[in-house]
Amino acid sequence: MTTTLIQGGTVVTSAGRFAADVLTVDGRIGEIATSIARPADHIVDARGQYVIPGGVDPHAHVKITFGGVPSADDFTSATIAAAFGGTTTIIDFAFQEHGQSLSSTLDDWHAALAASPPVTDVGVHLMISDLTDPAWIDELRAAPATGVSSFKLFMAYRGSFMVGDPAMWDTMRVAAETGALVMVHAENGDAIDALIREAVAADTLTPPFHASTRPRSTEAEAVNRALMFAELTGARTFIVHVSCADAVAPIVGAKARGMEVWGETCPQYLLFDESIYEQPLDQALRGIFSPPARSVADQDALWTALAGVGLDVISTDHSAFNLALRHERYESGGGFTAVPNGGPGLEERLALMFDVGVRGGRISLEQWVDLCCTTPARLFGLGGRKGVVAVGADADLVVWDPERERTLGVETAKSKVDYSMHEGRVVTGAPSTVIVDGVPLIADGELLDQPKRGFLRRAASVEATASV
C-alpha cells in the first residue's frame, strides 16, 4: 500500500473550497478530512496553497505533421511539459489519412506512443477524414468500446483535413448511437479557401491577411451548421477553440433549447487580439493559428461566456512547430498561407488562466478548476476519475502555490519547441508539487521520476449530466 498525505492545504473543486488534508492510497484518493495525522510514504506540506485536481487538456496535438515535418514534441516531452504546468492528463488525436482504415490509423498512433513513452497516460481522439468505405463506419462504431470515445471533424482546411457535410452526418450518427462526443473545428472551409485564393491572387500574404481571410461569420456559420447536424443526428457535440462572440451565440442558443453541446476556447484567444498581426514578423508569426486572434470585444465575450454561459472548457490546441520553421515557410513565397497553424501551450495553460483569469477577476478559483480540469474530464469519459478531488478518484493532484511568480519563456519550458507564444510574460501562481497516480512526480521544479505510462482508455460514453 503506497500512500501520500497532503496536509494543511485548501482543497478547491468546481463546487467550492474547504480546508482539509487529503490521503491517497494506491493511486486513488482514500480520505479527505479536517485533519489526518497518520504516517504516509510521502508527506506534502500544502499550507498556504491550494490542492486541486491535476489539469486535463482534451485538445493537445502531439503526433502531428505539417507538410511532412513532424511536431517538435514527442509523447515523452509533451507529457513532461504538461505535468510541469500542472496538467496530468492530455488527449491527443489520431489522424486518419484519406483512404486509411481507422484500425490502421489507431495502430499508427499506438506505435508512436510506444516509441516515446509518456509520463502520464495519454488518451486519443479519432480524427475522421474519410468514411467512404462502410467498413470504416463499422470501425468508428466500435471505437468507443476500446476507450476512444470522441471523434474530431474539421470543417476547414479544404484540401487536407476538411470533411464535407456527408461525413459529418455519418460521424454524428455513430456518435449518437454510441454516446461518443464529436469535436468540431467550426470554420467554413470553402469560404475561407475562396478568400485565401483571392488573397493569393492579390498577393496580399502578410500576417494581417491571415485574419481577414477567416472572418467571424465563417466561424459562426460553421457552428450553426454543425449544430443543425447535431440536432438532427442526436450527437453530443463539442465546438473547439471558439474565438468570437458571433460563434458563442449559436452555442448559447443550442444550450438554451436543451441540446447537449459544449464550447471550448484556448488561452491564445483570451490573451491575443488581432493587433498581433500588425506587430513585427517574429511576433506576428506566433499569431498564425486558426481561427485567428479576434478583437478585444471578442475577448471580453469569451471571458463572459466562460464565467457564465456558452463556453465550458479551456484547452490548449497545443501544436509544437518551431518558430524557425514558421519563418522559413512564410519566406517561401506562400506568406501566411504556408505557415503551420497553431502553437505550443501545454505547460502554460493553468498558470495563464490562474493569473489572468482568477487573479484578474475574470473567473473564480472554482471556475478555473472546472474549466481546466473537471468539465473536460467529465465530457471526455473521465468523469469521477480525473478532474476531481473526491474519494475514490484517481490520485492525480496538484499543490498550487498562488504566490509563486515566474516569467514564461522558451528557456525554462519543457516542450522541445523553440519558442513560447507568451515569451516574457510574468505570471503569478504555479504548481509546487504534482502528484500522478498517487506519487509525487514533480516537486519544486524537479522531475522526481520518469515513469513509462501509456494509453488512457476512456469510458465509452460521455457523462454529460452533472449539474452544469
Binding to a second copy (CB under 8 A): which residues in 379-408? Answer: 383-384, 388, 390-393
Q: How far is the CB of 158 from a second copy (least distance, A)?
A: 8
Residue from 57, 298, 348, 370 in contact with a second copy (CB under 8 A):
370
- In the bound state with a second copy, the residue whose beta carbon lies nearer, of 228 and 426, is 228
Position 255 contacts a second copy (CB under 8 A):
yes
Question: C-alpha cell of 368?
Answer: 478555473
- In the bound state with a second copy, the residue whose beta carbon lies nearer, of 296 and 468, is 468
Identify which range of 111-119, 255-263, 270-278, 438-446 contacts a second copy by CB under 8 A.
255-263
By the 8 A CB rule, do 71 and 402 touch?
A: no
Q: How far is the CB of 223 from a second copy (least distance, A)?
A: 10
Q: How far is the CB of 164 from a second copy (least distance, A)?
A: 7
Q: Which of residues 141-180 bind a second copy (CB under 8 A)?
A: 164-166, 169-170, 173
Identify which range of 116-124, 126-134, 344-352, 369-377 contacts a second copy by CB under 8 A.
369-377
Residue 395 CA to residue 441 CA, distance in Å, equals 12
> Whole-angstrom distance between the N-terminal and C-terminal Cα of the chain?
36
Q: How far is the CB of 11 from a second copy (least distance, A)?
A: 8
Cβ-Cβ contacts under 8 Å for 111 (sequence gap 6 or more): none
Q: Which amino acid is at 162?
A: M
Question: C-alpha cell of 227?
Answer: 449544430
Q: Which of residues 219-248 bind a second copy (CB under 8 A)?
A: 220-221, 224-225, 228-229, 231-232, 248
Residue 8 CA to residue 11 CA, distance in Å, equals 9
Q: Which of residues 4-43 bind a second copy (CB under 8 A)?
A: 11, 13-20, 23, 25, 28, 30-34
- In the bound state with a second copy, the residue whose beta carbon lies nearer, of 59 and 214, is 214
Would you say the C-alpha torsion 322, 238, 461, 174 has a positive or negative sign?
negative
Give me the helix-helix angle, 134-142 and 102-115, nearest 10°: 50
- In the bound state with a second copy, the residue whose beta carbon lies nearer, of 193 and 418, is 193
The residue written with cell numbers 504556408 in the block is: 338
Question: C-alpha cell of 245?
Answer: 462572440
Q: How far is the CB of 127 from a second copy (least distance, A)?
A: 20
Position 252 contacts a second copy (CB under 8 A):
yes
Would you say the C-alpha torsion 39, 44, 50, 55 has a positive or negative sign?
negative
Question: C-alpha cell of 434?
Answer: 504534482
The residue written with cell numbers 501544436 in the block is: 319
Question: C-alpha cell of 275?
Answer: 493587433
Residue from 82, 305, 379, 417 in contact with a second copy (CB under 8 A):
305
Q: How far is the CB of 108 from a second copy (least distance, A)?
A: 29
Q: Which of residues 55-74 bind a second copy (CB under 8 A)?
A: none
Residue 201 CA to residue 198 CA, distance in Å, equals 5
By the 8 A CB rule, do 23 and 31 touch?
A: yes
Residue 311 CA to residue 372 CA, distance in Å, equals 12
Q: How far is the CB of 21 from a second copy (least distance, A)?
A: 9
Q: How far is the CB of 221 from a second copy (least distance, A)?
A: 4
Residue 16 CA to residue 26 CA, distance in Å, equals 26
Position 296 contacts a second copy (CB under 8 A):
no
Identify which range of 306-314, 328-336, 421-429, 442-450 contacts a second copy by CB under 8 A.
306-314
- In the bound state with a second copy, the residue whose beta carbon lies nearer, of 281 and 296, is 296
- In the bound state with a second copy, the residue whose beta carbon lies nearer, of 64 and 373, is 373
HEC readout, 350-414? HHHHHHHHHHCCCCCHHHHHHHHHHHHHHHCCCCCCCCCCCCCCECCEEEEEEEEEEECCCCCCC
- In the bound state with a second copy, the residue whose beta carbon lies nearer, of 228 and 324, is 228
Residue from 39, 134, 159, 258 in contact with a second copy (CB under 8 A):
258
Q: How far is the CB of 269 from a second copy (least distance, A)?
A: 17
Residue from 114, 194, 281, 297 in contact with a second copy (CB under 8 A):
194
Backbone φ and ψ for 93, nearest 5 degrees, come out as -125, 135
